Every structure is written in C-alpha cells, then in structure tokens.
Structure 1
Amino acid sequence: MNVRVTSGAYAERALPIIQELKGLEGPMLPILHAIQAEFGYVPEEVKPVIASELNLSRAEVHGVVTFYHEFRDHPAGRHVLKLCRAEACQSMGSDRIADRARQLLGIDFHQTTLDGAVTLEPVYCLGLCACAPAAMLDDEVYGRVDEHCLSDMVAEARR
C-alpha cells in the first residue's frame, strides 16, 4: 500500500517534480538533482515524499542523499567554491590552496560564510588532472589554481 506523504510547502512543491521523473529507469538520482535544482538542497521533509512515490524506505532515500557529496541537506551560499581533493591535485599543492581558502573565508569544508556569500566544498576530481590543482566557482572551472587565483575567486564571490 502506497500512502502519499505530503506535508509542508517543500513537499507540495516537490511532488510534481517527483511524479514527472519517477517513470525513468533508476529515477532516484534524477529526482534528487531536480529537487536540489529547485530548492538549492534536498529538504528533509521531501525525503519521505520521494520514498513514498518510489516505494522505498526513508532510510534508502537518506542513504543516497548522504552517500553522494553533490547533494546538500542545507542551503548553500550564493556562490559555491569547490576545491579538488583528489590525488593529482594533492600532489600539486591543493592542501596549501585548501588551507588558504579556509583562511580567506573563515570557514571549513561544508560550511557557509556568515554573510551567506560562499559555501566551501571538497570534490574528488574535476577532471582537470593535467592542470592541477583545480577548483570550481559556481559552474566555472579553474586549473592551475595558485594563491593569487584563489584570492581572485574569493573576492569575486564576496562581491
């Protein structure tokens, strides 16, 4: 028996998105991406709706959301700065870049600046291994990031 679970504004706005995509083969990831595109994160109150519509447990939905680093359980800042933490970037100094980013922003990974301007996130490969270290500010990818480039990215995001 599939009991529809909807309560709250997020759940009501999410339901049409879920219903539109649930017919896809393997619909969970497309649904989560669409939900995050709509709200900027995957609200907790939407997880039971996804579970109900896909005939899954809430734990299964929660497990997918928490397994993939791309999904957020809280709103991000106006800008998202992602720093590659994969081996190629580490070998080219990404630890130093990460330390500098934390210092410039006053936050750690998975946190947002107090003014809501920037969220700092680690990623595990941006596909620019030949141009390491790599970073991404919103949808723009940067290679061969040094402290000067990082400072420019942070200044741009803070405007």
Structure 2
Amino acid sequence: MPRHDAWNESETLAIVSRHAHREGPLLPILHEVQETFGCVPEAAVPVIAQALNLSRAEVHGCVTFYHDFRDAPAGHYVLKVCRAEACQAMGCESLVKKAEDRIGVACGETTPDGRVTLEAVYCLGLCATAPSAMFDGRLIGRLDVEKLEAILGEAGA
C-alpha cells in the first residue's frame, strides 16, 4: 500500500512555501498535500487558507469542486469507472454493479482492508471506446466483464 505521512501543520506550511511564489498556487499546493498525506485533511484547509490569505470557504470550495481531491486516503488500487452518458449507453452500470458486488463496497468507498477504492467518474474522454475506466492511472477502453475481472484480480480483490 502507498505510504503516506500523518498530516501535520509544519509539513503543510512547507508545501505552501514551496508554491506560494507561483501564480495561482492553490491547486499545486492541494495536489502536493494530497500526494504527501494521501488526502487533503480537513485540518489542512484553515492552515492553507491562512497562509495564502484566502477564506476557508475558498479553499474548501476548491477541494470539494475537484473530484480528484480526497478527504480520506484512497485504497492501494483505485478503479474509476466512467458513468457519463456514452458509457451508460454502452452498459457501464452493470459493470459498476459487478465491481461493487465483487469487492463489497459501493462507488465512492474503499474496501475495509484498504486495498481497492471504487469511484465513479463522469468522462474520461474515451467515449468512442465506451464503456471506459481508469485503473491506477491506466486508461481502459471497451471495458467488459472479462477486463473488469482481470483488473480486480490484479488488485487482489
């Protein structure tokens, strides 16, 4: 499993200082916070806001607007299944159900052992090869039951 440091304020402030000189530093800061701690913890929001002279609402709004930011660490493996219209038309919902049944969690959840996080996304840009998914950053087009089973097998689920 990926190892992430426990959240602490001093490391968060160090991350802020590495990016504060940039134009629009909030997104790079949030990305590095998540990379370091596995998520953007709620406790980090006021620290980042104060350091950048932003309101907590502005930082929180950014964290919650972008679906890739998490408030809890993801599992070791992340399977994102596209549920946009083209993928729906090609049967993604039955694949989502199959994945949920196989790993025992719903979309948006992580298995109790922390091994797999299953997420819904709403367009991976692979509409011509729908249904599509992303497994640990690897795009997969023409997802079918066999490919899904192979992916989940690779994740040890």
Identical amino acids, percent of aligned pairs: 54
Q: 1:54 pairs with 52, 55, 59, which one? A: 52
**What's the CA shift string for 1:35-59, capped at 9, x where partnerless?**
1111111011111111011101112
The answer on whether the counterparts of 1:51 and 1:57 sit within 8 Å (CA) in structure 2 is yes
Q: Distance in 1 between matches of 2:151 and 2:7?
A: 35
The aligned amino acid for 1:14 is: T
The Cα RMSD (Å) is: 1.4
| Corresponding residue of 1:120 | 118
Q: Structure 1: which 5+ runs fail to align?
A: 1-7
Q: Distance in 2 between matches of 1:143 and 1:9?
A: 36
Q: 1:109 pairs with 107, 121, 125, which one? A: 107
**What's the CA shift string for 1:111-135, capped at 9, x where partnerless?**
1001110001111111111111111
Q: Distance in 2 between matches of 1:14 and 1:157?
A: 31
The aligned amino acid for 2:33 is: I
| Corresponding residue of 2:30 | 32
Q: Give the structure-1-normalised TM-score.
A: 0.90
Q: Distance in 1 between matches of 2:10 and 2:46?
A: 12
Q: For 1:75-154, list aligned pairs within 5 A.
A: 75-154=73-152
The answer on whether the counterparts of 1:10 and 1:43 sit within 8 Å (CA) in structure 2 is no
| Corresponding residue of 2:3 | none
Q: Distance in 1 between matches of 2:133 and 2:61?
A: 27
Q: Structure 2: which 5+ runs fail to align?
A: 1-5
| Corresponding residue of 1:64 | 62
**Cα deviation, residue 10, structure 1:** 2.0
- After TM superposition, which residue ranges in structure 1, 4 or more long, deviate above 4 angstroms? none
The answer on whether the counterparts of 1:137 and 1:153 sit within 8 Å (CA) in structure 2 is yes
Q: 1:21 pairs with 19, 22, 25, which one? A: 19
